Structure 1
Amino acid sequence: MTREYVNSVCATLPGAELSDPWGGGHDAWKVGGKMFACVGTAGDGVSVKTADIETAQMLIDAGVGAKAPYFHRSWVRLPWSADPEEIQHRLLSSYDIIRSTLTKKVQATLPPRG
């Protein structure tokens, strides 16, 4: 998979916005101002939020991903060699997790996710 694949999946999500908050070529996808996916300047994979630290550790132990550098332990880095369906599933799950943490007022401004 590639940065372009991640961007194509994220671009379809309601209210998703692409930014480069640190400069230098990061692709940080946010909903309601909160990040749910990030491709760093190394371009070696995508970091996504998981439900909790235990889920992240399970994915790391299973070899699906690795600890996401610079992120909380509930985030994992999925390498480009990961199964495309796994990457898509994790992107959508991360989006849903972050979206659910937004205030009800902000959530109400977003269209439903298909």
Structure 2
Amino acid sequence: MKMTEEQVASFCLSLPGAREDYKWGGVRVFSIAGNKMFALQNLRGESLAFKVDKELFLGHVDRPGIHPAPYLARAQWIIMNTPYPLGAEELRGLLQRSHQLVVNKLPKRTQVGLLLDD
């Protein structure tokens, strides 16, 4: 089963400390700790970008429908268009992992309440 754009947005906002803003002429930005982005969604729902594990980046972009994210690929971000080429369970797992990758880079005192159990 595939996720819709709104299901993705709702899931992102359900993660600890997540908030959303609109930037850059209509990009929906999901972030934590003020301004630490973990996912981006085009306002019209045409694309979704998020961070992945460094060692898994090349494996992800080898998959059909998944590409290095413009301007963010150097930080191991991938992008995909709708309909998303991943099933709901896998996509939720990757979005949660993106959230945690960003949380893990925060100062320890800021991480409190944002870390999820693996």
Question: Aligning the two structures, in what range does the TM-score lie when normalised by the shorter sequence?
Answer: 0.7 to 0.9
CA contact under 8 A between 1:49 and 1:75: conserved in structure 2?
yes
Q: Does 1:96 align with 2:97?
A: no
Match in the other structure for 1:78: 80
Count of residue pairs brought into register by the alignment? 111
Match in the other structure for 1:63: 64
Q: Does 1:107 align with 2:111?
A: yes
Seq. identity, %: 30
Q: Give the TM-score of the pair, scaled to structure 1.
A: 0.84
1:101 Cα deviation (Å)?
0.5
Residues 93, 64 of structure 1: alpha-carbon distance in 2 compared, 3 angstrom cutoff: farther
1:26 Cα deviation (Å)?
1.1
Q: Give the TM-score of the pair, scaled to structure 2.
A: 0.81
Please tell me the residue identity of whatever aligns with 2:16.
Answer: P
Provide the aligned C-alpha RMSD in A: 1.9
Match in the other structure for 2:38: 36
Match in the other structure for 1:25: 26
Determine helix, strand or coil for the equivalent of 1:11: helix
CA contact under 8 A between 1:48 and 1:94: conserved in structure 2?
yes
- Unpaired stretches in structure 1, ≥5 consecutive residues: none
With 58-67 and 86-95 compared, the bigger mean Cα shift is at 58-67
- Unpaired stretches in structure 2, ≥5 consecutive residues: none
